[in-house]
Structure 1
Amino acid sequence: MSDAAPQFSMRSVALAALLPTLLFSIGEGAIIPLIPLVAHDLGASLALAGLLGALVMVGTVVGDIPSGAIVARIGERTAMIWAALLSVIAVLICLAAPNALVLGIGVFIVGLATAVFGLARHAFLTSYVPIQYRARALSTLGGVFRAGFFVGPFLSAGVIHLTGGTQAVFWVFIVCCLAATAVLLLLPDPASTFGAPQGRPGTAGADGLFRTLRANRGVLLRLGTGVGLVGAMRATRLVIMPLWAVSIGIGQADTALIIGIAGAVDFALFYVSGQIMDKHGRLWSALPSMLGLGSGLLVLAFTHDLPSNVAWFIAVAMFLSLANGIGSGIMMTLGADLAPRSNPAPFLGAWRFAGDLGSAVAPLAVAGITAIATLALASGVAGVAGLFGAGILARYIPRYLPRTAKRPAEHPAKPAASK
């Protein structure tokens, strides 16, 4: 509607979607690093403890596609509320867990709730934010998520220092989830703030989900592969950098400092990424980001045995953070652009599944290549994959989202004819 844009403000988005997201991600960021430690305290081996720590991501991947049907049926705001409450139940299971198996069940449910909450906030901004502000809103959402994961571990460290036990950190997540729920309940309905969403039907079940997947199978296979590689590059960067520091003999404190500064560079660029996408087009953020991530990992592969390998590590770490920051919000923005306006949630669930699957598979691939060969080869393979992903994005973003279009087509799964 023409009156949607005047009603919009970044402040209203912050209250309705970003503040609950910040609270939820702070709580999640507080517990995720400590899940392996809690599992080990319950008698799990180091290998099993690591596996349990990965169950949040596994639960998120499993929950991505069905979360689309859930959000389409009950609405974004209600879905976020129930996801936050489900997280509380899951964390209480973790607190009461007598063994590692029960802890794993609770952690897996946290992942399922994360999928629903993440999809709901993504669909919320897709439905209510005018397209001229969309990339900035979604890149800010990505920045808020990163901020929560930055603050959460520091908060958990303070709680452990005060209480002397790791399990007390689970209460941080409970408090954050309840606070997010309170914010969502106390705020007015989004329709009264932004105006009605763009033509959503009243219900959408499994039939609507599968119909959406069939109608959009082309873009999900093509650009979905590209976005899966974006997720893979981001996860690879987070895994390889600390492993690389260990392999070249950098101490733990120095490693934490370098990665922390790199994380600050990454975080500082989230709004710049949104401005680039809104003013110049999505490709101007996506392509430099993937080229940077791919080339950075490829360069890193050849620096391991150089005399100045520590200096190279620092330089590449900062370069990778710059590349990642420039692409902040790109996966969510592309998904929002491509989703059918009448019912975006089912498509967004499948879209997020592609990105999260890449994020889940990449660390396993890095571990496997490192085990049978070297970490340098793993970095090189990841770099080549990143450059391949850049090629996919360069080919298919202009095809499915032509720069001259004022807004995405109602059914963007059919590319423009080209011969």
Structure 2
Amino acid sequence: MADDRREANLTQVVVIALLPALVFAIGEGAILPVIPTVAGSLGAGIELAGFVAGSIMIGQVLGDIPAGPVVARVGEKRAMLGSAVVSIAGVLLCVSAVSTWMLLAGVLVVGFSASTFNLARHAFLTSYVPVRYRARALSTLGGVFRAGQFIGPFITAAVIALTGIAQHAFWICAIVGVVVIGVLLFAPDVEKTTRPEPRTSRSAPAKTNVWSTVLANRRVLVRLGTGTGLIALLRGARTVVLPLWAFSIGLDAATTALVIGIAGGIDFALFFVSGWVMDRYGRAWTAVPSMLGMGVGLLALAFTHDLASAAWWFVALAIATGLANGIGSGIIMTLGADLAPRDAPAPFLGAWHIITDGASAAVPFIVAGLTLAFALPAAVGVLGVLGLVGAAIMGRYIPVFVPPPERR
């Protein structure tokens, strides 16, 4: 009977975490493609339009600072509810924007709210999913996010085809926010019925400060935090570099979208395999091959730009890096969950997200700076070397801080 209750609780946890995550990701995926277009329609040049599009990550990094203490104080479910409400406010600001700066403010608010939502669902699964299922649950969460990002743009395309107004795509995100609130309100409150460990952090606010958390955990954050930051950096760089590379070798937009779409499909298809390998053999068995694959793939790509067969090399290496990225699906969230203190995971996860989201937000600046200083092939080569460095860091420190299952 007790086992049945545990299974029911686990099912509730998965529904509460994954269903809102899918819906939220659909909303975010719906607005990302149209932000530059809407900014341009409001009078922004290409540089400012690009900055507005990237500001969603800036908002996310800023939101990571208070997110940990907020989640620790109010609980994961309430934090997700509050984030959905704030996200709707940001989207409504985007819908009613009459200037680029008004749109920028709305996008920043959406990014700010997404950081707390993402951290809350991460902390929720960290607290309630048994360790033996943890990697599979968090890899599935990563897969759900990828699915939402894949579905959202198609809904946007349909809405724009019907209305002819790109700004209407923001209504999709607003509706999605209402659906997320409904799911969370009517879902059973697992936090009130099940708690694996007492949450002492809520009675000790001083311990939830993100900076004191960084100081207390500086040893692991400097080592494994650097490795996961490089994973986030390479993932973000891959999404920026591949379209740029295709443009630079003369591929048309349709071919580029097809190749990147195929690579993304392979990436998405491997999320459960990644989680199973991590749970069965240990985290290093996906982290190291993933970083090696992306590093070697980008390094090889750097030497193909001027070849007669550059287009075929692009296709092969785009798919290869998609495969490598898929192998590591969920690794950042899983390592964060493994390392977070059991009695108060949210502040640690807040610091973890600052590192990974900060690395992702830095990608456009790093790629642009390296390309401007050297050239695109040199920039891609440097990123490939960073992938190899990340693989070495992960291979060295994961066994130290997160031993494989047989050694726990």
Same fold by TM-score, threshold 0.5 exceeded?
A: yes
Q: 2:297 is matched with which residue?
A: 296
Answer whether contact 1:73 1:204 (CA < 8 A) is retained: no
Q: Aligned partners of 2:33, 2:204: CA distance in 1, in Å?
A: 36
For residues 273 and 137 of structure 1, the distance between their equivalents in structure 2, rounded to whole angstroms, comes to: 11
Q: Secondary structure at the match of 1:304?
A: coil
Alignment of 1:122-161 (within 5 A): 122-161=122-161
For the structure 1 residues 206 and 26, does the alpha-carbon distance in structure 2 shift closer, same or farther, using more than 3 Å as the test?
farther
Q: Give the aligned residue type for 1:61.
A: V
225 and 83 in structure 1: CA distance in 2 versus 1, 3 angstrom threshold: same
Q: Give the equivalent residue in structure 1 for 2:278.
A: 277
Helix, strand or coil: the match of 1:249?
A: coil
Give the whole-Å Cα distance in 2 for the aligned partners of 1:123 and 1:319: 32
Alignment of 1:306-345 (within 5 A): 306-345=307-346
Once residues 402 and 152 of structure 1 are traced to their aligned partners in structure 2, the CA distance between those partners, rounded to angstroms, is 38
Name the stretch that deviates more: 282-291 or 365-374. 365-374
Give the drift of 1:177: 0.7
Deviation at 1:206, TM superposition (A): 5.1
CA distance in 1, matches of 2:316, 2:206: 48
Change (3 A) 1:404 1:262: closer
Write the letter of the residue equivalent to 2:39: A
The structure whose residues are more often helix, as a share, is 2
1:258 counterpart letter in structure 2: V
Q: Which residue of 2 is the match for residue 36 of structure 1? A: 36
Distance of 2:401 and 2:65 partners within structure 1: 22
The DSSP-based 3-state class of the residue aligned with 1:198 is coil
Q: Kindly state the Cα deviation for residue 211 of structure 1 after the two structures are TM-superposed.
A: 3.5
Distance in 2 between residues matched to 1:271 and 1:345, nearest whole Å: 25
Partner of 2:195: 196
**5 and 275 in structure 1: CA distance in 2 versus 1, 3 angstrom threshold:** farther
Change (3 A) 1:8 1:379: farther
Distance in 1 between residues matched to 2:349 and 2:106, nearest whole Å: 25
Aligned length: 405
Give, in whole Å, the separation in 2 of the partners of 1:27 and 1:285: 29
Counterpart of 2:47 in structure 1 is: 47
* Residue aligned with 2:343, SS: coil
Task: Give the conservation status (yes or no) of the 8 Å contact 2:213–2:351.
Answer: no
Q: Which residue is equivalent to 1:87? A: 87
Deviates more, 1:205-214 or 1:133-142: 205-214
Stretch of structure 1 that moved more, 195-204 or 211-220: 195-204
TM-score by length of 1: 0.93
Shift of 1:10: 6.2
Matched, 1:246 2:208: no
Corresponding residue SS for 1:342? coil
| 1:205 shift after superposition | 3.2
Q: Which runs of 5+ in 1 are unaligned?
A: 408-419
What is residue 417 of structure 1 aligned with on the other side? none
Compute the displacement of 1:360 (Å).
1.2
Counterpart contact for 2:10–2:129, Cα < 8 Å? no
Q: Which amino acid aligns with 2:118?
A: G
Q: Secondary structure at the match of 2:65?
A: helix
Q: Is the 8 A contact 2:77 2:184 kept in 1?
A: yes
Code of the aligned partner of 2:271: F
The alignment partner of 2:14 has SS state of: helix
| Distance in 2 between residues matched to 1:170 and 1:406, nearest whole Å | 49
Superimposed CA distance per residue, residues 364-413 of structure 1 (whole angstroms, 9 cap, x where no aligned partner): 11111112221100110000011001111111111111225665xxxxxx
Provide the C-alpha distance between the structure 2 equivalents of 1:77 and 1:285, rounded to a whole number of angstroms. 30
1:347 corresponds to: 348
* CA shift for structure 1 position 4: 10
Distance 2:407 2:92 in 1: 48
Give the match's secondary structure for 2:103: helix
Q: How does 1:67-106 map to 2 (within 5 A)?
A: 67-106=67-106
Q: What amino acid does structure 2 have at the position aligned with 1:185?
A: L
**In the alignment, is residue 215 of structure 1 matched against residue 216 of structure 2?**
yes
> Once the 2 structures are TM-superposed, how far is the Cα of residue 7 of structure 1 from its aligned partner?
2.8
Residue 393 of structure 1 corresponds to 394
Residue 164 of structure 1 deviates from its aligned partner by 1.1
| Secondary structure in structure 2 of the residue aligned to 1:43 | coil
Q: For residue 13 of structure 1, report the CA deviation from its aligned partner.
A: 3.5
Say if 1:63 and 1:112, in contact at 8 Å, map to a contact too: yes
Mapped partners of 1:404, 1:50: distance in 2 = 44
Residue in structure 1 matched with residue 236 of structure 2 by the alignment: 235
What secondary structure, in the 3-state scheme, does the structure 2 residue paired with 1:320 have? helix
TM-score, normalised to structure 2, is 0.96
C-alpha distance in structure 1 between counterparts of 2:251 and 2:4, whole Å:
53
Does 1:226 find its partner at 2:224?
Answer: no
Show CA shifts across 1:146-204 (max 9, x none).
111000111000000111101111110001011011000001101367x2142212345
Name the stretch that deviates more: 157-166 or 184-193. 184-193
Matched with 1:416 is none
Maintained 8 Å contact 1:229/1:358:
yes
1:69, 1:204 within 8 Å by CA — same for their partners in 2? no
Deviation readout 1:111-161 (Å, 9 max, x if unpaired): 110000000000000000000000000000000001110001110000001
Q: Name the counterpart of 2:65.
A: 65
Distance in 2 (CA, whole Å) between partners of 1:67 and 1:289 is 29
The C-alpha deviation readout for 1:275-320, integer Å capped at 9, x for no partner, is 0000010000100000001010000001111121111111101100
Distance 2:9 2:315 in 1: 39
- Compared with structure 1, are the counterparts of its residues 204 and 158 closer, same or farther at alpha carbon in structure 2 (3 Å cutoff)? farther
Q: Tell me the amino acid that sits aligned with residue 309 of structure 1.
A: A
8 Å Cα contact 2:340-2:348 kept in structure 1: yes
Secondary structure class of the residue paired with 2:198: coil
Instruction: Say yes or no: does 1:360 pair with 2:361.
Output: yes
Tell me the CA shift for residue 8 of structure 1: 5.7
The amino acid across from 1:106 in the alignment is G
Deviations 1:19-77 (A, max 9, x none): 00011010011001111111111111111011000110001111113100000000000
1:309-342 per-residue CA deviation (whole Å, 9 max, x = no partner) reads: 1111111011000000000000000000000000
Question: In structure 2, how many angstroms separate the alpha carbons of the residues matched to 1:179 and 1:348?
Answer: 26
Which one-letter code corresponds to 1:73 in the other structure? R
Q: Alignment RMSD, CA only?
A: 1.7
